[in-house]
A and B are shown apart, each in its own frame.
Chain A
Amino acid sequence: MKRLDDRGRIDHDHSFEFTYDGRTLTAHPGDTLASALLANGVDVIGTSVLMSRPRGVVTDNVTDPHAFAQVGTGSVTEPLMRMNEVEVFAGFEAEGRLHQGLLPTERESTRFEKRFAHCDVLVVGAGPAGLSAALAAADAGSRVILVDDHPHLGGALLGGEKLIDDKPATRWVADVEARLRANPDVTILTRTTAFNNGDQGAVALMERVTEHLPEAKRDGRALRRMWQVRTHELVVATGATERPLVFADNDRPGVMLAAGVRGFLHRFGLVPEKLVVFTACDDAYRTAIDLAGAGVDVQMVVDVRKDPQGSLIKRTRELGIEIRDNAAVIGTDGDADGVLTAVRVASLDGGVPEAIACDCLAVSGGWDPLFDLHLHVSGGSRWNRKLVGFVPDGSLPGIRVTGAAAGIFGTAGCRRDGHVVGLVAAEATGHGTTADGPAAPEGHDANEGPTADFVDVPGTERIHAFVDQHRDVALAGVDRALGSGIHHVEHVKRYTLVGTGTEQGRTAKVNAGRLTARHFGLDFAEVGISNARPLAQPMTFGSLAGRSLGVRFDPVRTTSIHPWHVAHGAIFEDVGQWKRPWFFPQGNEDMDAAVLRECAAVREGVGMMDASTLGKIDVKGKDAGEFLDRLYTGVMSSLKPGRARYGVMCKADGMVMDDGVVLRLADDHFMATTTTGGAAGVLDWMEDFLQTEWPYLDVWLTSVTEQWATVAVVGPKAREVMAVLAPELDVTQDAFKFMQLEDAVVAGIESRVARISFSGELAFEINVPMTYGLALWEAVFAAGQPFGITPYGTESMHVLRAEKGYFIVGQETDGTVTPLDLGLDWMIADKEFVGRRSLRRSDMLRDDRKQLVGILPVDSKDRLPEGAQLIDSAEYEIPVSMIGHVTSSYESSAMGRTFGLALVRNGRNRIGETIYAPLADRTVAVEIVDAVIFDQEGARRDG
């Protein structure tokens, strides 16, 4: 196309260079990538996805089926950016990748922002309807947000030569914009796409903030900003999109949509040399009229309708443009690059086709109202035979569709309807009344004839007559789908991929649906089109994530002792949001070596670990004991103050939910500990029962996880370390028994000390206020030096507890394991508790349930992978029946061999038997043993 110096909204006086596919091209401020490519004679922007056919720009908006480019280079590149949305600037770089983009290799958390906003009325679309609605609502006193995806307000008025009140429509747009900008309760967002509508007026917007500016002018601001708006009333004024007609070689560069051709003239001053218009409706005549007015040689208007009437047709005739009615373009010709050189026109009644030379064919098959934001919240649609398009059906609370989106196409009609909708929306938010509001604007629209219900040219060659240019689906592809017995439009979509492209098949879906209906002799109104789902436009993940990346993706929780762990080279494990030391490697140790050393220290000397992340819930009130009795399988109310008891709780279905030690601090005061990852869920669970089932109980729950730091001193020499740390505390066995609590001064800090063990060894857990955690830890480490005290992490903790057969929630359990499966029959007290009834459901009483057992590989050096399946015999053929799986598997320093825990069908009755773990490279024989493998008599816990 060539550029006219006196047309368009671009800055003709300035120009700059940019790069496309490595070529240096020139553009003006205000150009989109699409307009700049057309102006530079880049007719072929890339090739199609399946057939590798040359393709060009089809229209001037985001419905273009393949105007997509890779924008930016290196690590900050973005794929599949819409060429009609992307604005070029000096130094801009892009590559023609129409169907498959490249992902950025680096995440930059500063490129995208998010914000929230509330308003009374959100108006999406700033054409005649949207502007009128926004103005009416704002004048009535509503807080209004008006968004439009273009850089300028005006919508379809920017792409035409319409008059409003006898003046150019752009004058009216400027006047309305000035009035809106003068109102402090109005926010105008241009370059902004409303891409999702949720419930209760939750609309998501994407604003292109600095994306259109060169790097130097971005001033550190984000490229894009996502707005999450909560609006009382939503006005959908998103206009309509033009659909093409289907004929052979309709995908040649140069074949464009009629309103797009008009738009490129009015917005960018771009015109072809010779134009032919092919249409099924009156609107395309505007393209012929406007381009003829710009000096373009308009060869002919080919109209599929017989004897069309109306003012636009009359005006076209007056300009001396030939109109060929009851005719169609049956094919196109191109040059060596495939670019359009001529069209072949024939009467629909037959006859010899005539070749007409042209470099642009402007096609219009009619208009599809665009109302995705209504459809996102289950709004209906219905086929309007008169408009030959879908219109919104029914109304949704708080959502009003207006203008072309509602099937109202004339400018005057749009202004009137938008005005009324704006008043109604304002009234719904308590501002003004429709009765007393200002009168609707006057004016009436030109009389337009009906659109023909016409999709494909009869008898056209079907292999290259495209229905969906993005997916390269031609009539032949649709034929194949329909011929295979498919008869639902959703199935046609999935079989052919019609309408599934990046541009969401805006130009393809309605035509595909009509072809389907016709094939089966059905009424299209009954067949309908495939669903429109969010998002209304694809958005890159980066712009949806905003700054919520890396450390800002999820909170990181650390204990007050964390800096010591970091300084001493701990390798960390994520447990929920907590960072816990996994192991503390010394020198060149790998994980296995570190864990063996740490475990040996605990079993033979003394170790210490940071247990501060364990969940801690304060349970207070006179009914606290009763409350806990109802939730734990065991009895807690019989605990004496100063004593502790291990407890397990189940979900109502009887499956193990969490476990931990419950400490009784006073008659009306307990502290329940939970697993690290389960703390929040257990508190929620407790609150649920307290608030909804037993609100009459006098109980108060408080999370104190982050209030207490806990250091465990563990091992045969733990008592000696404690004696140094707390000289006034009597740590002898007679004075300080297992599961006993003592308030004591430890290392000068007021502490609560408990004899609790998760390793089977003599252990003291010292609890201090969280802020003293690091001081306590350092004091314990110093006092333990003469005894070789060894800090250990979660991996050693797991090995030590597994040696003792102590299960871990989430490792041995997975929501299908009951306390009975774990062999905890002794913990089921004779009283009611949540989930108890489930334990005698028939399924729970089966004798082939998987039960927790220990396993010892016959080869004592072989360590099984956790999750390995278990089977009955060494020789097997697939499929083979699985009888269980390995839940934990480690190497034990204390036993000098590998071992594991497993859930095995009827396992407790099979102790002593050998079963097998079939692995990819070997089959391992394992002996079933008691879950408690080490220290079965429990001799070590008292030191």
Chain B
Amino acid sequence: MFEIRCPYCGPRDEPEFKYGGQAHVAYPADPELLSDEEWARFLFVRDNSRGRYAERWNHAAGCRRWFNVIRDTGTHELVGSYRVGEQPEDAR
């Protein structure tokens, strides 16, 4: 059970949160301009890397805000959290 730092509420237990997959995958600005392959890549393909990974969490049973977490997928170390609009280097 992770202890996740919500940037708005502080550290809380994982059951309060909902996972939202890889961070910084924006919904394409104009999907109609994308080829089937480009669109499929957006829909279905995500990184699955070992090491530091930026991912989305929602404080579902708390403030209900979405934010981002840097997690080491090899060790489950939670390096830090940052708000929507901030960058990974802002994580703390």
- A residues whose Cβ falls under 8 Å from a Cβ of B: 198-202, 228, 230, 377-378, 396-397, 652-653, 684, 687-689, 691-693, 695, 832, 834, 836-838, 841-842
Are the C-beta atoms of B20 and A201 separated by less than 8 Å?
no
- Which chain B residues lie closer than 8 Å to A199 at the CB level? 1-3, 76, 78
Residue of B nearest to A203 (CB): B1
Determine the chain B residues whose CB is within 8 A of the CB of A838 once the complex forms: 39, 43
> What are 20 A-B residue pairs whose CB atoms fall within 8 Å in the complex?
A199-B76, A200-B1, A200-B3, A200-B76, A202-B1, A230-B3, A377-B76, A378-B76, A652-B43, A684-B18, A687-B66, A688-B20, A689-B27, A691-B66, A691-B84, A695-B84, A695-B85, A836-B31, A838-B39, A841-B36
Chain B residues within an 8 Å CB radius of A198: 1-2
Q: How far is the CB of A430 from chain B (nearest CB, A)?
A: 16
- Determine the distance from Cα of A202 to Cα of B77 in the docked complex, in whole angstroms: 13
Do the beta carbons of A397 and B77 come within 8 Å of each other? yes
- Asked whether, in the complex, the Cβ of A396 is within 8 Å of the Cβ of B75, the reply is yes
Residues of B within 8 A of A688 (CB): 20, 58, 66
In the complex, the answer to whether A202 meets B34 with C-beta atoms within 8 Å is no
What residues of chain A lie closer than 8 Å to B39, measured between beta carbons?
837-838, 841
The residue of chain A having its C-beta at the shortest distance from the C-beta of B44 within the complex is: A653
Instruction: Encode contact with A along B25-56: 1 for CB under 8 Å, 0 otherwise.
Output: 01110111010100110110000000000001
Q: Does B92 contact A (CB under 8 A)?
A: no
B27–A693 contact, CB under 8 A? Answer: yes
Contacts of B31 in A (CB 8 A): 832, 836-837
In the assembled complex, B13 has its CB within 8 A of some CB on chain A: yes
Q: Which of B45-83 contact A (CB under 8 A)?
A: 56, 58, 60, 64-66, 74-78
Docked complex Cα distance between A841 and B77 (Å): 39
Nearest A residue (CB) for B30: A832
Shortest CB-to-CB span from B39 to chain A, Å, is 5
Chain A residues whose C-beta falls within 8 Å of the C-beta of B60 in the assembled complex:
684
Instruction: Give A202 to B42 CA distance when docked, in angstroms.
Output: 35
* Across-interface contacts of A377 in B (CB, < 8 A): 76
Does B56 lie within 8 Å of A692, measured CB to CB? Answer: yes
Residues of B within 8 A of A837 (CB): 28, 31-32, 34, 39
A837 to B2, CA, bound (A): 36
In the complex, which of the residues B13, B31, B39, B42 has the most CB atoms of chain A within 10 Å of its own CB atom?
B31
> Which residue on chain B has the smallest CB distance to residue A833?
B31
Q: Which residues of B contact A200 (CB under 8 A)?
A: 1-3, 76, 78
Query: In the bound complex, what is the Cα–Cα distance between A867 and B31 (angstroms)?
Result: 36
The reply to whether A684 and B84 contact each other, CB–CB distance below 8 Å, is no
A834's partner among B18, B27, B56, B58 (CB-CB below 8 A) is B27
- Whether A230 and B75, one on each chain, are in contact in the complex, defined by CB atoms closer than 8 angstroms, is no
Quick check: B43 and A692 within 8 Å, CB to CB? no
B3 engages A692 (CB within 8 Å): no
Residues of chain B within 8 A of A836, CB atoms compared: 31-32
Distance of A199 Cα from B84 Cα, bound (Å):
25
- Expressed in whole angstroms, the minimum distance between the Cβ of B50 and any Cβ of chain A is 12
Which of these, A228, A652, A653, A691, contacts B27 with CB under 8 Å? Answer: A652
**Which among A230, A377, A653, A837 has the greatest number of chain B C-beta atoms within 10 A?**
A837
A910 to B1 CA separation, bound complex (whole angstroms): 53
Query: In the complex the two chains form, is B20's CB within 8 Å of A693's CB?
Result: no
B58 surroundings in chain A (CB, below 8 A): 684, 687-688
Q: Considering the chains assembled together, what is the distance between the CA atoms of A888 and B20 in angstroms?
A: 33
A202 to B12 Cα, complex, angstroms: 12
Residue pair B64, A687 in contact (C-beta under 8 Å): yes
Set of chain A residues within 8 Å of B1, measured between Cβ atoms: 198-200, 202, 228
Q: Report chain B residues within 8 Å CB of A695.
A: 84-85
Which among A200, A201, A378, A396 has the highest number of chain B CB atoms within 10 Å? A200
| Distance in Å: Cβ of B37 to nearest Cβ of chain A | 10
Q: How far is the CA of A796 from the CA of B28 in the complex (A)?
A: 43
Chain B residues with CB below 8 A from A841, complex form: 36, 39-40
Residues of B within 8 A of A396 (CB): 75
Q: How far is the CB of B5 from chain A (nearest CB, A)?
A: 10
12 extra A-B contacts, CB within 8 A, seeds A652-B43, A695-B85, A832-B30 = A200-B1, A200-B2, A200-B76, A228-B1, A378-B76, A396-B75, A688-B58, A691-B65, A832-B32, A836-B31, A838-B39, A842-B36
Residues in chain A near residue B65, CB distance under 8 A:
691
Closest-CB distance, B4 to chain A (whole angstroms): 8
What residues of chain B lie closer than 8 Å to A832, measured between beta carbons? Answer: 30-32
Question: Which of B18, B39, B60 has the most CB atoms of chain A within a 10 A radius of its CB?
Answer: B39
Complex interface: chain A residues within 8 A of B43 (CB): 652-653, 838
Question: Which residue on A lies nearest to B83, using beta carbons?
Answer: A691
Instruction: Give the top 4 A-B pairs by smallest Cβ distance, nearest first.
Output: A837-B31, A200-B3, A202-B1, A198-B1
**Chain B, residue nearest A378 (CB):** B75
- Encoded as 1 (CB less than 8 Å from any A CB) or 0, chain B from 4 to 21 comes to 000000000100001010
Q: How far apart are A703's CB and chain B's nearest CB, in angstroms?
A: 10
Could you tell me the distance in whole angstroms from the C-beta of A702 to the nearest C-beta in chain B? 11
Q: Whole-angstrom distance from the CB of A469 to the nearest CB of chain B? A: 35
Q: A687's closest neighbor in chain B, by CB?
A: B64
B33: nearest chain-A partner, CB-CB? A837
What's the least CB distance linking A616 to chain B, in Å?
17
Most chain A CB neighbours (cut-off 10 Å) among B20, B27, B56, B84: B27
Of the candidates A201, A652, A653, A684, which one forms a contact with B3 in the assembled complex, judged by CB atoms under 8 Å apart? A201
Closest B residue to A841 by CB, please name it.
B36
> Nearest Cβ distance between residue B18 and chain A, in whole angstroms?
7
Contacts of B56 in A (CB 8 A): 692
Contacts of A228 in B (CB 8 A): 1
Q: Which residues from A are CB-within-8-Å of B28? A: 837
**In chain A, what residue has the closest Cβ to B32?**
A837
B56 nearest CB neighbor, chain A only: A692
Q: How far is the CA of A396 from the CA of B3 in the complex (A)?
A: 16
What separation, in Å, do the CA atoms of A688 and B3 have in the docked complex? 22
**A692 cross-chain contacts in B, Cβ below 8 A:** 56, 66, 84
Kindly state the separation between the CA atoms of A230 and B1 in the bound complex, as whole angstroms. Answer: 9
- B52 CB, min distance to chain A CBs, angstroms: 15
Q: Which A residue's beta carbon lies closest to that of B34? A: A837
CB distance from A70 to the nearest CB of B (A): 32
Contacts of A201 in B (CB 8 A): 3
A202 vs B2: C-alpha distance when bound (angstroms): 7
- Least CB separation from A652: chain B residue: B43
Residues of A within 8 A of B85 (CB): 695
A842 to B39, CA, bound (A): 12
Question: For residue B78, which residue of chain A has the nearest CB?
Answer: A200
Residues of A within 8 A of B36 (CB): 841-842
Chain A: minimal CB distance from B57 (Å): 11
B residues in contact with A834, CB < 8 Å: 27
Q: With A and B bound together, what is the CA distance between A837 and B20 in angstroms? A: 22
Q: How far is the CA of A118 from the CA of B54 in the complex (A)?
A: 28
Q: Smallest distance from the beta carbon of B25 to chain A beta carbons, Å? A: 10
